[in-house]
Amino acid sequence: MDCMRIQSTLSHKKNWNYDVFVSFRGETRNNFTDHLFDALHRHGILAFRDNTKLDKGEVISEGLMQAIEGSQVFIVVFSMDYASSRWCLRELAKIADCNQATGQHVLPIFYDVSPAEVRWQSENYGKAFLKHEQRYKHDADMMEQVRTWRRALKMVADLSGWDVKDKPQSAEIEKIVKVVTRIVNPKLSSSPSNDIVGMQSPLEELEKLLVSDSHDDVRVVGISGMGGIGKSTLATILYEKISHQFDVPCFVDDVSKIYESYGPLGIQKQLLCQAFKEEDFPIWNLSFGNNLIQTRFRTRKALIVLDNVDQRIQLEKSAIKREWLGKGSRIIIVSRDEHILKEYGADGVYKVKLLNDENALQLFCGKAFKSNHVAKDYESLTESALAYAKGLPLAIRVLGTFLFGRNVSEWSSALVRLKERPTKDIMDVLRISFDGLEDMEKEIFLDIACFFRNDDPDDYVKDILRIRGFHPDIGIRTLIDKSLITFNSGNFVMHDLLRELGRSLVREKSPKEPIKWSRLWVLRKRGYFQYKSIL
């Protein structure tokens, strides 16, 4: 199995063609610069690499100019003979222009020279410029260019950078890559886009759970909630925001699917590949994998995000243990089942909430109108659509995307049809939780979906379920843990889309023959209950 790479949901690439442009002299090509490019690649950073040999022409090619202009970050590797290369100095002058014009970041690295030598253009750098001036002393235009090179060199050398002379290269390169990563993958903006509406407050709550009084402890935090509520999106945004603070950040996407297809070895392989930037990590058996995780992680501050965990055994067999991680490490587990998180020993669990009315409207407008406001003549239809979704981000996104660009008549028709037959994209996501239930829990879920309202007292619901021969105390607790119902002010509350899921499950085998359904239901007024269960 190839190691999967997490894809950023918060891409701040803008119109950059490259993350990084590296300006360097050929003398560093086969040592420091080569290692630098390799480290950037392992961290998923796209760096432009000019493999053309030295002794180039007098004019930088248009393609190289475009590469410089299209790079978000510049790394300039100052070596002993850098200033003797007119080609390097032309690159440097262009980099300085871009920095002043657009604010593109410039990171100087002093490889085998001191910052003072470069800054004040002394010793080898002074000799190189004397040669340039001697060569062009009769060419006024070129003499002006030499002065431009001097100014660019002084400007870049004055910036904060790294003096790597006589230092371990691998350690210094890791420091450089961390800074580059923070620049090309910035923290979450204080003004969320439509794709992350309503995430700011949950992020703040999660960060509070992750922080403790001790910097040495290893904390485990869970993220729970019903299907489609945005757990994975929240975990991904949090990972993007804080991963640069850790030595080894790892995001294992869809643990349940990996476990089903490849077993615990697949999960261990994901961790080790991402942690140590390897395309493939040979693991022959669980014992070997356990040993690798224990030995490789124990001295490192790790961030491990495990998305979509739906069974405790997936954590146990994969040997993801807090005592095997270095000081300050954090484990974030995403699961619909809160009981799994508590059983694992999570220090805190964040239960993701439905969007409030304001955020739901903002998200819907972004999808349905590509705007921040409701289009004229669509006000009442928008209210109906939001009433249908009831704050569930998945439903809002699917519905808004489907309705985009359609006229009023088509909106009306679509909303009527949705009430009769909910969209498959939403139901498929919600059904995953139902499919994971035991048989009796499924029966309790279907009874609640078909027969009860959200304002029915909990003791009333439990009494009826007992009459039906079920064990409601443990069964209902399981439904709550799996985010299929919630408990609020003495009532069990089920989201309307989950309720519709239950009823559609009852109807699905014989949609036009109610006599064959396991349950029949009617609309009822407060205080009046009527149902028929066909056993």
All structural domains of the chain with their residue ranges: 18-184, 194-351, 357-420, 427-533
Spacing of C-alpha 206 from chain mean position: 14
Q: Give 88-148 as a DSSP string.
A: HHHHHHHHHHHHHHH--EEEEEESSS-HHHHHTT-HHHHHHHHHHHHHTTT-HHHHHHHHH
Fold (topology level) of 427-533: Arc Repressor Mutant, subunit A (1.10.10)
Judge contact between 223 and 255, C-beta under 8 A.
no
- Give counts: helices (H), strands (E), the chain: 22, 14
Catalytic member of 27, 91, 441, 500? 91
Architecture of domain 18-184: 3-Layer(aba) Sandwich (3.40)
Tokens read off for 128? 């190189």
- Across the chain, mean pLDDT equals 85
Q: Which residues, in sequence order, are bridge partners of residue 305?
A: 251, 332
SS3 157: helix
pLDDT at 275: 78
Report pLDDT digits (tens) over 333-342.
999 999 999 9
Residue reference for tokens 């922080």: 211
Q: Which amino acid is located at 410 in the chain?
A: E
Going by pLDDT thresholds of 50, 70 and 90, the confidence category of residue 7 is very low
Q: Which DSSP letter does residue 108 get?
A: E
pLDDT at 60: 62
pLDDT at 8: 35
Report pLDDT digits (tens) over 281-334.
677 788 888 888 888 888 888 999 999 999 999 998 888 888 999 999 999 999
SS3 readout for 426-450: HHHHHHHHHHCCCHHHHHHHHHHHH
Going by pLDDT thresholds of 50, 70 and 90, the confidence category of residue 255 is very high
Give the C-alpha separation, 450 to 444, whole Å: 10
Judge contact between 349 and 341, C-beta under 8 A.
yes
**If we measure between CA atoms, which residue out of 16, 334, 343, 77 comes closest to residue 206?**
334
pLDDT at 445: 92
Check pLDDT > 60 for residue 58.
no
Judge contact between 294 and 272, C-beta under 8 A.
no
Q: Pick the most confident of 26-35, 54-63, 102-111, 411-420.
A: 102-111
Q: What own/partner pairs with CB < 8 Å and gap ≥ 24 does 47-55 have?
A: 47/18, 47/19, 47/20, 47/21, 47/22, 48/17, 48/18, 48/20, 48/21, 48/22, 49/22, 53/26, 54/25, 54/26, 54/85, 54/87
Check pLDDT > 50 for residue 56.
no
Give the C-alpha separation, 421 to 207, whole Å: 39
Judge contact between 236 and 261, C-beta under 8 A.
no
Q: Which residues contact 525 (CB under 8 A, 6 or more apart)?
A: none
Give the C-alpha separation, 115 to 113, whole Å: 7
Architecture of domain 194-351: 3-Layer(aba) Sandwich (3.40)
Same fold, 18-184 and 194-351: yes
Report pLDDT digits (tens) over 358-399.
999 999 999 999 988 999 999 999 999 999 889 999 899 889
- Mean local confidence (pLDDT), 75-88: 92
Check pLDDT > 50 for residue 57.
no
- Percent of the chain at pLDDT > 90 equals 39
Q: State yes or no: is 438 an active-site residue.
A: no
pLDDT at 213: 67
**If we measure between CA atoms, which residue out of 354, 398, 361, 360 comes closest to residue 496?**
354
Q: Which DSSP letter does residue 457 get?
A: B
* Angle of CA points 306, 310, 315, to nearest 5°: 55
pLDDT at 333: 96
Check pLDDT > 90 for residue 106.
yes
pLDDT at 53: 46
Phi-psi label, residue 275: left if phi above 0, alpha if psi -120 to 50, beta otherwise: alpha
Judge contact between 113 and 165, C-beta under 8 A.
yes
Q: Which residues, in sequence order, are bridge partners of residue 533?
A: 519
Report pLDDT digits (tens) over 462-476.
999 999 899 999 999
Report pLDDT digits (tens) over 514-533.
888 888 886 554 444 444 45
Check pLDDT > 90 for residue 73.
yes
Going by pLDDT thresholds of 50, 70 and 90, the confidence category of residue 9 is very low
pLDDT at 3: 46
Q: Which amino acid is located at 37 in the chain?
A: F
Report pLDDT digits (tens) over 214-227.
777 899 999 999 99
- Percent of the chain at pLDDT > 70 equals 89
Q: Which helix (H) or strand (E) holds 332?
A: strand 330-334
How many Cβ atoms from other residues are within 10 Å of residue 196's Cβ?
Answer: 20
pLDDT at 279: 64
Give the C-alpha separation, 492 to 452, whole Å: 9
Check pLDDT > 80 for residue 52.
no
Going by pLDDT thresholds of 50, 70 and 90, the confidence category of residue 486 is confident
Going by pLDDT thresholds of 50, 70 and 90, the confidence category of residue 188 is very low
Report pLDDT digits (tens) over 489-513.
788 888 888 888 888 888 888 888 8
Give the C-alpha separation, 437 to 481, whole Å: 11
